Amino acid sequence: MKIGIYLAVLPALALTASIAAAQPANLTRDTGAPVGDNQNSKTAGADGPVLLEDMNLIEKLARFDRERIPERVVHARGTGAEGVFVASTDFSQFTRASVFAQPGKQTPVFVRFSTVMNFRGSPEAARDPRGFAVKFYTDQGNWDIVGINEPIFFIRDAIKFPDFVHANKPSPVTNMQDPNRAFDFFSRVPESTHMLTMLYTDTYGQPSSYRTMDGNGVHAFRLVNREGKTVFAKFHWKSQQGMRGMTLEEARAADTSYATRDLYDSIRQGNFPKWDLMVQILTPEQAANLPYDAFDDTKTWDGVPETKVGTMTLNKVPENFFNSTEESAFCPCELVPGIEPSPDKMLQGRLFSYADTQRYRVGTNYMDLPVNRPRIPVRNNNIDGAMQFLPQQGEVNYEPNTSPTLPVEQTEYRYSQYPVSGVTQQRKVDKEDNFRQAGEFYRSLSRHDQDNLIKNLASDLGAVANPEIRRTMVSHFYQADADYGTRLAKLVNVDIASLRRP
């Protein structure tokens, strides 16, 4: 009996010794970002619903859902490169993010460029936005700017994203992309007019290389400084090489892998491409007073000045394409203290969807892979799942617990607080303003660029069989600018008079 009691006590003694031997540490998310509160979900007020933007909650539940034990849906065709970001400005007045803490601070980065709609081995010369995703390996955890080369997007609400992708992917019947399907969708989504106008220019729709295009975070983000003061920001990568595009004829003649070849050849020759990171800032009051919705990702922030905060240089071709470019995984939910989501409805959906698709595509433990792993220690209670090779240490994989030496919360890193009001709703934004910026962009182009835009657009829109879809699409461009719509109408066989019908 005494022996039995002694043996029964051994596991408890071992657990006590394990706890005593451990060292105090800080609780983090899988990205390495510190956790401010691991006991309370973020809610809309005392009695409001839990917010989807609570990234710690979403990550914690999603990891738990996959504890027991494919090509990207979009952005399958991609190219990656390694580099460094060097801060040039002390930006601490706006954000406590350490990446901007002092001029000269260096942060390693991995960048993945891509096309959106086509399959992994498809030609790079496609009429398509270019993905421009940057992963910063900061000393506060990973921060991803998951953007594209345009400053805007086609839709303003993530609930329409699967429909947008389905309409532009190959037909489920023929397995071919079909402008009839794409423009059928766009004809019912007038907010897409601005993005389509950009996409059919040579500069945005057919970049001459990855080096000669800008990148944009597209969405507004909330910046929070150490005093808790909040502003909103948009991020823009400005190419030091300048922006250049290809004509329709040049794109058709381009090498299948022209953009990858250009990027890798340039880096190997020591001609390292560089981008300046520019930031636009609006106070909450300024954002509220804009004539359009500040968090509508189909809009640019007109006239808001940009501030340079640093420069990124790509200086290394990865040693293995699969381990870097294919296994790299990005999500706008990978944020660091001082950078938080805005109310942008497209962004709010991406916070969940991107990490979720990576867990499906790569696996539950995709953050353990070298290209995705933070460069700082990760400490939390997420365990097991397929392909785990950085296991949780010790027997205590829950919280709260009685140990004084296990990872602790850092209350200074709790999410910022901000007021919410009103009743729950499902409706469009109040200030849609679907056409004005598209017209302003069209009028900003040279006559030559306008000519090419209309030629490029007519080449696809003219192939649409349904005359009502063509008429509706041309009416959108006509509402943006009468010259734009009139010239396009002539090329796609739409009666000008019909554009003026109610």
Write out pLDDT tens, residues 424-435: 888 888 899 999
Q: How confident is the model at residue 452 (pLDDT cuts 50, 70, 90)?
A: very high
Q: Where in the chain is the domain with CATH 2.40.180.10?
A: 70-376
Average pLDDT over residues 23-31: 80
Of all residues in the chain, the percent with pLDDT exceeding 70 is: 94
- State mean pLDDT over 124-131: 95
pTM for the model: 0.89
pLDDT in tens, 387-423: 888 877 888 888 888 887 777 778 888 899 988 888 8
Q: How many Å apart are CA 484 and CA 282, to the nearest integer? A: 32
Q: CA-CA distances (angstroms) from residue 171 to 125, 176, 294?
A: 21, 5, 35
Calculated CA dihedral for residues 182, 183, 189, 192, nearest 10 degrees: 80
Is the pLDDT score of 173 beyond 90?
Answer: yes
pLDDT tens, position by position, 38-91 = 878 888 887 777 888 998 888 888 887 777 648 898 999 999 999 999 999 999
> To the nearest whole number, what is the mean pLDDT of the chain?
91
- Count other C-beta atoms under 10 Å from residue 98's C-beta: 19
For the chain, percent of residues with pLDDT exceeding 90 = 74
Cα gap 492→458, rounded to integer Å = 6
Of 97, 117, 94, 95, which Cα lies nearest the Cα of 105?
A: 97
Residue 502: the pLDDT is 46
The topology under which CATH files domain 70-376 is: Catalase HpII,  Chain A, domain 1 (2.40.180)
90-109 mean pLDDT: 96
pLDDT-derived band at 20, boundaries 50, 70, 90:
very low
Q: Is the pLDDT of residue 245 over 60?
A: yes
Q: How far apart are CA 396 and CA 20, in angstroms?
A: 12
The Cα–Cα gap between 205 and 199 comes to 4
Query: 215-216 and 221-224 as β-strands: parallel, antiparallel, unpaired?
Result: unpaired
Q: Which of 191-200, 291-300, 413-422 has the lowest mean pLDDT?
A: 413-422
pLDDT at 9: 43
User: Per-residue pLDDT for 501 more than 60?
Assistant: no
CA distance 130 to 149: 5
